[in-house]
Amino acid sequence: MNQLHENDKGTLKWKVYYTRQEDEKWSDPVAVIDSPAGSVESPSSVIDTQDRLFIVWRDNLTGEIYYSWANSGLANSTFEWVSAQVLPIPQGGGSSPDVVLDPNGELVVAYAVPVNEGVASM
């Protein structure tokens, strides 16, 4: 879940919220991650074989793809999340990020990269 909030400087910034179902009831949402550039688009998440929750998202303002992770049992604590990191991508940014585990349990992040956009045809 993500939501837009105004920070103490009056700037609008998106936050990623975490909630989980416990005994058929959802826990209260907790803001766990601030997107460094301020926007959260197309979040995707997966839990790996070591019980870590990974999330990736696209920053709509910059086109950068970010990721973060926390131990899934403690993911409701802001302090458990690793600071958001940007993935290396070609100039122009990416879109539609997705994170999955491959058959060997390796984490894979896939995203689209614009090709030939903005190029005039002759």
What DSSP character marks residue 60? T
**What gap in Å lies between CA 33 and CA 24, rounded to an integer?**
25
Its sign, for the CA torsion 112, 87, 13, 77, is positive
Confidence of residue 121 (pLDDT cuts 50, 70, 90): low
**What gap in Å lies between CA 82 and CA 12, rounded to an integer?**
22
Total count of domains within the chain: 1
Position of tokens 């409701």?
Answer: 76
Token pair belonging to 108: 């894979």
Amino acid identity for residue 63 in this structure: G
What is the span of the domain harbouring residue 78? Answer: 2-112
Q: What is the pLDDT of residues 56-104, one digit of tens each?
A: 999 888 888 999 999 999 999 999 999 999 998 877 788 888 899 999 9
Q: What is the pLDDT of residues 28-52, one digit of tens each?
A: 888 898 888 777 888 899 999 999 9
In a domain, 106, yes or no: yes
Answering whether pTM is above 0.85, one says no
